[in-house]
Chain A
């Protein structure tokens, strides 16, 4: 396990928080987080950093990253990620994205395919599939969401979310400092994903432009994104395949770091 260092990167929309570190490897691995805003101290990244240079930028509105005011939709998000790659001097990279971050990775890869060598999408949102809707994440109680996000109800974050349920009646139940990141990340997610709901109607038709060999990881207990979405990505991206992960849910990247790391490293050819 290799600890990542925290740094601030000046992006076009404002200073953003970046976690970075690790070895050399054939290409820098860029990790785009989910709507949970995971990254700091994350086991998956520390594992990958044993063999790779890993960079995990936090999207505006998450952590200490600023500039959300300049981002209105997924188009702005894609240009922001491009801007970050430029400022990191990454002519190309291996791109790993979870959920919301998987969507952003795909939006980047259809516009600038030459910037992505290989790509892994973990339970990505981003597509609309008739008859297989993405579960509503806004306006739900934290405990309901926790059931869909995590396979293990005792995972620490799942426990915290359950504790947040009673806050409407008694705000003192959970310190506001622990609630603040949830509010911020939900607001940032709403900005790009409220309507159309967590998808871009134009993305599917553009996926044929992706040149990177792509692995889509689908967690079998994902309560948010049905498997049909992984299949839609697989059919539309020229070189793509789906890997199913047993015993994992939507936030598999957080909850099952070892299995996800193994799949990622296999796909990247390490």
Chain B
């Protein structure tokens, strides 16, 4: 079992009288740059702290023009983490490949992070969220084929000697020859996040990558999604390894169940009611009609439709409670979902720094050791021997 601390880097200060979406058209005059600077530094500290606590890795991700996650360039944050940490895996989950033109940029920056970190990068690749196709005026009907072509190009950059010529439908490059190359050979571990698109599940299975289920759905949806991934792997002629499956979930630990809810609930609702609105826009052609039909079956359980804490608990949209409760719930779900990666969202919405730290501390001392004992299957990733000295080592 591998444990990751995932940070969305949310903007916690939307004014109470703003009731519009947090995406695409959320006015950027609501962003206070001074507060933004404090937040970036605080959030980076929270990720660095995860290494001290014994996590296996940290995760960052990419979203544009929104208050939900103010991290349009996760590679900037990842490169800071590469320098400030010495042991944890750094998972960028991921770069939205179609937004990079040419996508050799992703191959270059990921290789830089891999070099700086001494081979600790996990390279996440993603189609990009629906809102990004509006924010970039990028044609969603070309999303899948651009993603596939960019992926092929990046893998070729990492695995074949340059210079070479690449002539695809969307990218035509006469001299591909990335300096640097990644330390990890043949290439860094690749993760693909998703919400259940059949195309994505089949793509992950075909390439033996790992699939990260994005939260905000009822736990039953994850069960179905991972079952579909296992089935897709079987169609490719193999059984999925638990390390190919990741479950991303908000977690909050306090001394008692009552205290946990009391300290957490309002921050969770800020996240659901203020930051999620707008995230679920699905531009035309972004997913196939058969996938839309499949995803729509789950739409009713999307977190935006939640209106009571009982529903949150019942559907396990967040795992909140005493160390005993959290251990019990996580154990049951790890077992049930068969995942080998737990991606915890410890800071969420408006959750302040002190609460985030106390929850992380309790998780690391009271929960994680028990889960490691219960699920010894996967080892902690080793740091490659070639790792250079870093600031904190």
Contact = CB atoms under 8 A, between A and B. Distances in A.
Nearest to B137: A195
Contacts of A170: 300
B292 A194 contact: no
B284 A180 contact: no
Contacts of B139: 190-191, 194-195
Contacts of A189: 284
Nearest to B134: A139
B300 A183 contact: no
Interface string A162-174: 0000011111000
Given A139-B134, A187-B141, A195-B138, A168 B289 contact: no
B336 interface: no
Contacts of A171: 296-297, 299-300
Interface string B136-165: 011111100000000000000000000000
Contact of B284 (A176, A190, A195): A190
A167 B284 contact: no
Contact of B283 (A176, A188, A190): A190
B300 A190 contact: no
B289 A194 contact: no
Given A169-B305, A194-B139, A195-B139, A187 B299 contact: no
Nearest to A137: B284
Contacts of A169: 299-300, 305
Interface string A209-233: 0000000000000000000000000
Interface in A174-194: 176, 180, 183-184, 186-191, 194
A194 B140 contact: yes
Given A139-B283, A187-B284, A194 B296 contact: no
Nearest to B281: A139
Nearest to B284: A186
Interface in B274-307: 280-281, 283-285, 289, 292-293, 296-297, 299-300, 302, 304-305
A138 interface: yes
A189 B139 CA distance: 11
B301 to A, nearest CB: 10
What is the interface of chain A mostly: helix, strand, loop, or mixed? Answer: helix
Contacts of B296: 167, 171, 176
B284 A183 contact: yes
Interface in B100-154: 133-134, 137-142
A183 B296 CA distance: 12
Nearest to A35: B284
A190 B137 CA distance: 11
A168 B137 contact: no
B283 A184 contact: no
Contact of B142 (A72, A139, A183, A197): A72
A184 B289 contact: yes
A191 B285 contact: yes
Contacts of A72: 142
Contacts of A167: 296, 299
A168 B298 CA distance: 9
Nearest to A197: B137
A203 B118 CA distance: 53
Nearest to B285: A187
B234 to A, nearest CB: 27
A186 B133 CA distance: 14
B227 to A, nearest CB: 20
Contacts of A187: 141, 284-285, 289
A94 B142 CA distance: 33
Interface of A: 72, 138-139, 167-171, 176, 180, 183-184, 186-191, 194-195, 197
Given A168-B305, A190-B285, 18 more contacts: A138-B134, A138-B283, A138-B284, A139-B283, A167-B299, A168-B302, A168-B304, A169-B305, A183-B284, A183-B292, A187-B285, A189-B284, A190-B140, A191-B139, A194-B138, A194-B140, A195-B137, A195-B138
Instruction: Give the 9 A-B CB pairs with smallest separation, nearest first.
Output: A187-B285, A186-B284, A190-B284, A194-B139, A191-B141, A190-B141, A187-B284, A195-B137, A171-B296
Interface of B: 24, 133-134, 137-142, 280-281, 283-285, 289, 292-293, 296-297, 299-300, 302, 304-305
5 contacts: A171-B296, A187-B289, A188-B141, A194-B137, A194-B141
